[in-house]
Structure 1
Amino acid sequence: MSKDGLCAVITGSASGLGAATAAILAKDGARLVINYSSSAKEAEATAEQCRQLGAAEVVVVQGDVSKDEDCKKIVAAAAKWGRIDALVNNAGVTKHVAHDDLDGLSAEDFQWIYGINTIGPYQMVRAARSLLEASAKASGRAAAVVNVSSMAGLSGAGSSVAYAASKGALNSITLSLARALAPAIRVNTVCPGYIDTPWFTKGRGADAATKVREAVIARVPLHAASTAEDIAQLICFLATPPSGHMTGELVRMDAGMHLLSVRA
């Protein structure tokens, strides 16, 4: 999987899955835009790690993808390269609310979650379109957009109704844009199940997060808790030429969790 010289923009890449994706691309000399919303210290640490791993260039940009002007600012950081070969829409948020707690989510909660998880990726593609098309023109192959969704968007489960709905909408956007932007830009989505990152710890506390992890390992067919690096490998595949004939795909990676809904 050659990524030498790849120009990539990764939103929400200060830590977790975004940082793991950046690290993999960095090892083969990619040029990277690292984006963060509030965690500047983490973003700079990730950028330095990427430089040490071999990235040709790393630029750190603050920006909230729910704001159109910030999306334009993030993309502008790659303008000096004259192209974007891969855009990874990884930034995401949630609010942990039981699905039967209908009073636990307000209209403002929905707007905040949709703003980042659903509208943000759309705005990022719109802002990056000309540079993605420039990549296709220069290389003779389609540039890549990889959206990071969730199994929640396919199952209606997950951390809250609003989160699941936002990811379901992102899946639909993937199909729409894959049709609309071909042949210059291909658009695919990764739908992870459980990922062993601080996501659950921040949302539910350390004890609850440990119980979730143990329950996942016990239940899923592969008896595994996927790491950020596991999912990042799939993202990098979809972001690079080996997946060049894939577009409009919603690719599950959940250690077999989806199989639990069907009993032999």
Structure 2
Amino acid sequence: MASSTHKLYHVHGFDSRQHLENYMSDKPEMGFEEDSLKFPIESFAKTFSKGHIKGDVLIDLSAGSFVHHLYAACEFFKHIIVLKVSERCILELKRWLDTRTGAFDWGHATKIHLDIEEKSDELQNKEGKVRSTIPHVVKCHFEKENMTDPIVLPPADCIISCGLLDHVCKDQDDYIRFLRKCSRLLKPGGHLIIIGALDMTYCTVGKDRLHIFTYNEDFARKALVGEGFVIDDCKVKKRTAVSDLTDYKALIFIAAHKQN
């Protein structure tokens, strides 16, 4: 299938539950545990445990209906404001936040995080903490200058973007514009943490193949520095998953801060 026929994540929509089942579930056939679950959870736990990234407001601008990347963050921020470009992702996430019947079960991911913290007996407390820290899930529009127009968000101490840039950016210019918008949402000295997939060209959800912006580590680093960020940590993990659902070569985790 030519890339021109791939669906656009933020335009055409996708099956948010199937997305979770494919890449985040605890099913035996789900082959992305090391890459999609353990790598983000371990990276965020290590980064936040250093204690220098904290504050009142964290904005999460990530793909899908993920919550596992927020387990560590909820201990260091009073409020996490989640922005989503898809109504289906909002509904899926709210189902979990409101503990509704049929919500996606994140228990396996919670256990991974608690095993890292050596607090394996606090599963319900951890999920309750995450829920209580997220007061709002807000629809955003990637194309608008103020993505949450007419809502004006408070300046954030930190922004997390997990996988979203890969899906919504059409090219290098788009990626840089996205970083610029993130920068405007941050306080001076605020932190930006990004997880993405390197050298990926497609992502499959159900019968649909989604468009993916293809880039490498060198581009990601230069783009951040070019927009006034100082990179504090960068790690690349080679792919371990065996699956034809997607074709990324590696994952990248970057923690950076905005220069004053």
The TM tier, using the shorter chain, reads 0.3 to 0.5
Q: Which has the higher strand share?
A: 2
Q: Which has the higher helix share?
A: 1
